[in-house]
Structure 1
């Protein structure tokens, strides 16, 4: 059995920073797009995928165009939906409620927002549907953390210990087939 490389690239800096940007769709800066292009330089990629949100899609378009390959836009790679908190800074959110969310993102989701398990279910389905070829996904910090939880067995609290700044790159070797399906099913 042969595996394949899955590269997860967080989008570059968006025009709006310092806010909980889940479903809020804002453009990336030109510097943010350039940072993604620089980070992915030299990667051998067969498939380019991005979230449908502009801050991930636009760098994905630039990377796919540079390689002469199409971009597959997949909304399952979106950021966690922060519900009523979406677009707010941490300082604008009730600190008790925010602390409860960070401690238990599945049991205490943002009001009107998405549970951690819903995010991991989306990302799990997206990973399961990947073609086993070198793949680059331009996505968001939350989706990258969900992939780490699914593929490496980290719990929700552990994945928040990873610093994933804009344009950060995670490269994972994926073993497809029954092993991947069993691994994902066992970690949900």
Structure 2
């Protein structure tokens, strides 16, 4: 049996400004550092067998304290990185062409931002990484959009509905997914840890 705890990295300055932060390597702000500390405290209690992170600095900085608290070595995997948002990267939705935004809001899986990564491909790479983890209890630190896409893929929710069915994953929160013979089961979602 494998239990995977999916955590979103701590807050960044771009998050506060409402900027799309996909592949841009943005660090944590002071609140994000506090949230990383809360995840480390959680990991000291939960004692995951392994901690795996996206290689982007905001995820690594969030995961490193948790790995140390759990007494394990942090491992990174590029398949856990955030979706590339193409022309939206580093911008607010209000700064984009209204027609592009309208198409994206209608079906974000079929109409990703131009120049960005296909959401289905992103979900596939992320879940392929998860499939290689375990057995045991594993903490995975990653990003808002790719976590929601992966959860949709694991739970049989159409990717087109990821923004509606899973509106957001909060910074520093933990979602628990169990994996057994019958597939994935959502045990908890978006649980805040404080910070």
RMSD: 2.0
After the TM superposition, list the runs of 4 or more consecutive aligned residues in structure 1 that deviate by more than 2 angstroms.
102-107
CA distance in 1, matches of 2:86, 2:128: 22
What is the CA–CA distance in structure 2 between the aligned matches of 1:152 and 1:46, rounded to whole Å?
Answer: 24
* Cα distance per residue 1:116-161 (max 9 Å; x no partner): 1111111121111112210001100112112211221111233213
User: How big is the shift at 1:39?
Assistant: 4.2
1:94 to 2:97 alignment: yes
Once residues 158 and 112 of structure 1 are traced to their aligned partners in structure 2, the CA distance between those partners, rounded to angstroms, is: 21
TM-score of the aligned structures, taking structure 2 as reference length: 0.83
Q: Which moved more, 1:157-166 or 1:147-156?
A: 157-166
Structure 1 unaligned spans of 5+:
182-188
The count of residues paired between Structure 1 and Structure 2 equals: 178
Match of 1:74 in 2: 77
Which consecutive unaligned segments of at least 5 residues does structure 2 have? 185-195
3-state SS in 2 of match to 1:66 = helix
Using structure 1 for the length normalisation, give the TM-score: 0.86
Deviates more, 1:26-35 or 1:85-94: 26-35
Shift of 1:47: 0.6
- Residues 1:30 and 1:65: Cα distance change in structure 2 (over 3 Å): farther
- Residue of structure 2 in register with 1:9 after alignment: 7
1: CA distance, partners of 2:49 / 2:33: 20
Higher strand share: 2
Q: Does 1:144 align with 2:142?
A: no
How many Å separate the matches in 2 of 1:150 and 1:124? Answer: 8
